[in-house]
Amino acid sequence: MNHETLLEVRDLTLALPGGGDRAHAVEALSFELAANEILCIVGESGSGKSMTAHALMGLLPRAVRPVGGEIRYRGRDVLTMSPAESRALRGGRIGMIFQEPMTALNPLVRVGRQIEEMLELHTELDRAARRTRVLELLEAVGLPNPPELARAYPFKLSGGQRQRVMIAIALAAEPDVLIADEPTTALDVTTQQQILELIGRLQTERGMGVIFITHDFGVVAEIADRVAVMRHGRIVEQGSADEVLNRPQHPYTRTLIAAVPHGLHHRDEPPPAGPPLLVAKDLRKTFRVGGGWLGGGREVRAADGISLEIRPGETVGLVGESGSGKSTLGRAIVGLMKPDAGQILFEGVDLLALKPNAFRPYRRHVQMVFQDPYASLNPRHTVGDIIAQGPVAFGEDRDKALARARELLGLVGLDASAAERFPHEFSGGQRQRISIARALALDPRLLIADEPVSALDVSVQAQVLALLETIRKRLELSMLFITHDLRIAARICDRVAVMQRGRIVELKTARELFENPEHPYTRTLLDAIPGRGWQVPDALVAAEAQRLAV
Amino acid sequence: MKSFWTTFSRNRGAVIGLAVLALVVLVALCADLLYPGSPWDMATAPFQPPLSEGFPLGSDLLGRDIAAGLAHGARVSLLIGLVSTAVALALGVSLGALAGYFGGAVDDAIMRVTEFFQTIPNFVLAVVLVAIFTPSIGSIVAAIAIVSWPPLARLARAEFLSLRSREFVQAAITSGQTHATIIFRQILPNSLSPIIVSGSLMVATAILLESSLSFLGLGDPNLMSWGFMIGAARTVIRQAWWMSFFPGVAILVTVLAINLIGEGLNDAMNPRLARARQ
């Protein structure tokens, strides 16, 4: 097989504009990409991995300047090329796929036409040959009915289909290097699996070199031949997939891998018994999308007869892909949304039948932790205020509430002095801790966590999950944990409910669900977990458990 | 606050605008000291050109001092500009906030009323209102406020609509805070920036509206104003250009200054846009 070196990066240093928190986006970066291989660049947010990809494509933002090193494509320096040469390279010899398929296509141009544009720019084909080639490409990326699809506008396509079209565009000019910048991060697991398979297949068929940028070690285990781990703009470790995944050397790589949610390490206490704290009975909710006064539009069934029990001290996981209706249940319980039918019984009282004034006391008992740590804290209030607002609304003395806020900050592992500062001074993980402290301020009995870690880096995810687990134990809370990630559900939940199209298709203890999935959809989901053939090395797991325990 | 001034002062136009406006305000405040007595009094012979003895800007048809008229007119213009904008802000923001926060029927009702006002040409409505309620400073302020609140209501509504679905507002709802607390403590402070920016630009529009009304002879008959001076001098514009020129320049410079300030505020209060421009 051909293993010619395609891309060679030597001592690349990119300078950031002054005034930022660091001087270089990437520093002394060196790696190579050969034909017939997939190189995964792994790193957390801010590690410089996307900037590297953009530098390879000659797409650096104006403020970022290369100050040292070189990028060579088959011996030619990419950084010193003329704009015309650079354009011919971009899209012609090096193709790129982006993270967000929803915005990467021009919404007003038919799909076929967008692929054809690439052929016009980079090939000598005539009109008829281009048309044929477009259909071949759509076929190659596994899209059904290419002739019809070529005439469709992007809005008619699902996220996975759009990402396939993006891949077709990237491959149109038969490049020998493909750069994929987190191409599956915005997709559901099952779609992610298909796209990963597609990229793997196309890479082998065409003998391309692929640079695959990701934050997810599961994905790395799935497709990588070689791995480079980046942190703060530097490559800290580089080697074959087997070496890096199973025998990582650098401490940072070891922490990252240990933080990957893995297997069932479950709490040993007997499953809690007693009367349920909360019972949802046959909840139904239909949203109408589009349409006007006179009707029309499309109906989406977010809840189609959901029934669920949460017992005291129990953590119930609600797992599903986007649009499965998993958030609807959580929002209905905290009263942010009114279902069309059904009952929500909290200790036997139907919350949905209550008038707003009678419902208000129950708000204390059910609190929510939101998904986006950047949107869930009011940017104009101090952290202390944010936490104290709930108790103050329920008539607590302001000074007492603030004192309690400081205690809670200690409980979630932040310094009490954080109370005087504003949310923007904190990182994503710290903000999520503040969010948890706010939810705890009202001494709730049930905590609803709606994707509380999906916006966080892996290493921070592990810490926040450990915090939730500690707090749940210490305060004897019940928890409804909503997530799209089965690995995370397995880590924290006693029982897991799998949702699909507004229905719970399977509900059993986490262990049973993983060992003995019955519903075909559950099996599909389990199979789609990236990196399921790879086990996080045991030594790392033990070390991580120790670190989190301290 | 410090970073606000740094960003604001980075926009050179805004700083110049602020300086000019400060000068106009100073002149308005000192009008009685600089030109004691009524600006309506005859001070010299009519039709004195600029730079004549003691009257640097000349005199008008009836021998009134144009400089004195400008100084006293600045008071009226600024006063009406600020007060009518304040009234329009109070009206527009509260209606918009209610519409955006509660949505549904409340939103529908308020927005239909807003649209009703927006279908009538601003100036025509203002003329009609002032004509009906007899020209006085009160009726002029009211008329200007009534024609300028709808855009502010729409803006406030849009802000409230988008902020209402933000997670920190939902968190406030789940922690049992009342509607009033959520509106005033959570949403309003976060929606103020664009409202202040368009409010500042509205001061300029209000000054222009007042001038136009006075030009048509619908100004307060007891108060000297820039628009009135231009209106009175329009018949002799070919013989005595200065009578309409200087008040015209005063209007232009003041409105321009306020617009520049508004733009600077926009840069300073929308950090995202300002950063993109760097």
Distance from the Cα of A275 to chain B's closest Cα (Å) equals: 25
Token match 């949107």: residue?
Answer: A375
Query: Comparing C-alpha atoms, which of A434, A436, A452 is closest to residue A383?
Result: A434
Residues of B within 8 A of A394 (CB-CB) are 176
Which pLDDT score, from 0 to 100, does residue A549 have? 65
CB contact under 8 A, A435 and B171: yes
Cβ-Cβ contacts under 8 Å between A and B: the total is 61
Determine the residue of chain B that is closest to A440 in CA distance: B175
How far is residue A165's CA from residue A150's CA, in Å, rounded to a whole number?
10
Residues of A within 8 A of B189 (CB-CB) are 380
Residues paired with residue A284 on neighbouring β-strands, in sequence order: A304, A341
Q: What is the DSSP string of A308-342?
A: EEE-TT-EEEEEE-TTSSHHHHHHHHTTSS--SEE
How far is residue A374's CA from residue B167's CA, in Å, rounded to a whole number?
9
How far is residue A387's CA from residue B156's CA, in Å, rounded to a whole number?
27
Nearest CB to B190; choose among A335, A336, A380: A380
Distance from the Cα of A349 to chain B's closest Cα (Å) equals: 18
How far is residue A493's CA from residue A510's CA, in Å, rounded to a whole number?
6
How far is residue A506's CA from residue A522's CA, in Å, rounded to a whole number?
7
Identify whether the C-beta of residue A376 lies closer than 8 Å to the C-beta of residue A435: yes
Q: How would you write the pLDDT of chain A (550 residues) with one tens digit per residue? A: 677 889 999 999 998 887 667 788 898 999 999 999 999 999 888 888 888 988 888 888 888 888 888 899 988 888 888 888 888 888 888 999 988 887 888 999 999 999 999 999 888 889 999 999 999 999 988 888 899 999 999 988 888 889 999 999 998 888 999 999 988 888 888 889 989 999 999 999 989 999 999 988 889 999 999 999 999 989 999 999 999 999 999 999 988 888 887 665 555 565 567 788 999 999 999 887 665 555 566 777 888 889 999 998 889 999 988 878 888 888 999 988 889 999 999 988 999 988 888 998 899 999 999 988 888 999 889 999 999 999 999 988 999 999 999 999 999 999 999 999 999 888 889 999 999 999 999 999 999 999 998 888 888 888 898 899 889 888 889 999 999 888 888 888 889 999 998 899 999 888 888 888 999 999 998 888 888 778 888 878 777 777 766 5
Residue B275's pLDDT band, with cuts at 50, 70 and 90, is very low
Residue A110 C-alpha from the chain's centroid: 29
For the segment A334-383, what is each residue's pLDDT rounded down to a tens digit?
A: 988 889 999 999 988 999 988 888 998 899 999 999 988 888 999 889 99
Judged against a pLDDT cut of 70, whether residue B199 lies above it is answered with: yes
Long-range contacts of B243-250 (CB under 8 A, 24+ apart): B243/B58, B243/B60, B243/B61, B243/B66, B246/B50, B246/B57, B246/B66, B246/B70, B247/B66, B247/B69, B247/B70, B247/B73, B250/B24, B250/B70, B250/B73, B250/B74, B250/B77, B250/B226
User: Can you say whether residue A485 is alpha, beta or left, with left for phi > 0 and alpha for psi between -120 and 50 degrees?
Assistant: beta
φ, ψ for residue A404, nearest 5 deg: -65, -40
Token match 């070690």: residue?
Answer: A217
ipTM of the complex: 0.79
CB contact under 8 A, A378 and B186: yes
Residues of A within 8 A of B167 (CB-CB) are 370-372, 375-376
Nearest CB to A367; choose among B174, B189, B190: B174
Residues of B within 8 A of A360 (CB-CB) are 176
Nearest CB to A336; choose among B174, B177, B185: B174
Mutate one of A359, A378, A434 to test the B interface: name it (highest B CB count within 10 A): A378
Please enumerate residues of B whose Cβ is less than 8 A from a Cβ of A. Answer: 166-168, 170-178, 181, 185-186, 189-190
Q: Is the Cβ of A370 closer than 8 Å to some Cβ of chain B?
A: yes
φ, ψ for residue A317, nearest 5 deg: -95, 145
Identify whether the C-beta of residue A492 lies closer than 8 Å to the C-beta of residue A317: yes
CB contact under 8 A, A438 and B171: yes
Q: Is the Cβ of A367 closer than 8 Å to some Cβ of chain B?
A: yes
Identify whether the C-beta of residue B190 lies closer than 8 Å to the C-beta of residue B162: no
Q: Please report which helix (H) or strand (E) contains residue A286, including its range.
A: strand A278-289
Q: What angle do CA B99, B105, B106 make, to 5 degrees?
A: 30
Per DSSP (E only), the strands in A109-225 are: 177-181, 209-214
How far is residue A445's CA from residue B253's CA, in Å, rounded to a whole number?
63
Judged against a pLDDT cut of 60, whether residue B1 lies above it is answered with: no
Identify whether the C-beta of residue B149 lies closer than 8 Å to the C-beta of residue B139: no
Distance from the Cα of A360 to chain B's closest Cα (Å) equals: 6
Helix (H), strand (E), coil (C) string for A294-306: CECCEEEEEEEEE
Mutate one of B175, B182, B191, B278 to test the A interface: name it (highest A CB count within 10 A): B175
Which pLDDT score, from 0 to 100, does residue B144 have? 94
Question: Mean pLDDT, to the nearest integer, of B16-28?
Answer: 93
Determine the residue of chain A that is closest to B181 in CA distance: A393
Token match 């070891």: residue?
Answer: A254
Residues paired with residue A315 on neighbouring β-strands, in sequence order: A479
CB contact under 8 A, A336 and B176: no
Judged against a pLDDT cut of 70, whether residue B63 lies above it is answered with: yes
Q: Is the Cβ of A393 closer than 8 Å to some Cβ of chain B?
A: yes
CB contact under 8 A, A394 and B166: no
Exposure string over A116-140, b if 16+ CB within 10 A, otherwise e: bbbbeebeeeeeeebbebbbebbeb
Residues of A within 8 A of B166 (CB-CB) are 375-376
For the segment B137-167, what is each residue's pLDDT rounded down to a tens digit?
A: 999 999 999 999 999 999 999 999 999 988 9
Determine the residue of chain A that is closest to B166 in CA distance: A375
Judged against a pLDDT cut of 60, whether residue B51 lies above it is answered with: yes
Residues paired with residue A96 on neighbouring β-strands, in sequence order: A179
Q: Is the Cβ of A290 closer than 8 Å to some Cβ of chain B?
A: no
Which pLDDT score, from 0 to 100, does residue B95 have? 95
Q: How far is CA B36 from CA B31, B67, B69, B83, B247, in A?
A: 7, 12, 11, 25, 19
Q: What angle do CA A73, A78, A84 make, to 5 degrees?
A: 110
Residues contacting A378, CB < 8 A, separation 6+: A386, A423, B168, B172, B186, B190
Nearest CB to B174; choose among A368, A372, A394: A368
CB contact under 8 A, A441 and B171: no
Which of A:416-475 have CB within 8 Å of B?
435, 438, 441-442
Query: Comparing C-alpha atoms, which of A270, A246, A274 is closest to residue A260?
Result: A246
Which pLDDT score, from 0 to 100, does residue B276 have? 45
Strands A5-15 and A24-34: antiparallel
Identify whether the C-beta of residue B215 lies closer than 8 Å to the C-beta of residue B228: yes
Distance from the Cα of B186 to chain A's closest Cα (Å) equals: 7
Q: Is the Cβ of A389 closer than 8 Å to some Cβ of chain B?
A: yes
CB contact under 8 A, A441 and B175: yes
Identify whether the C-beta of residue A171 lies closer than 8 Å to the C-beta of residue A1: no
Residues of A within 8 A of B174 (CB-CB) are 334-336, 363, 366-368
How far is residue B65's CA from residue B243's CA, in Å, rounded to a whole number?
10
How far is residue A513's CA from residue B15's CA, in Å, rounded to a whole number?
66
CB contact under 8 A, A367 and B168: no
Distance from the Cα of B210 to chain A's closest Cα (Å) equals: 37
Residues of B within 8 A of A386 (CB-CB) are 168
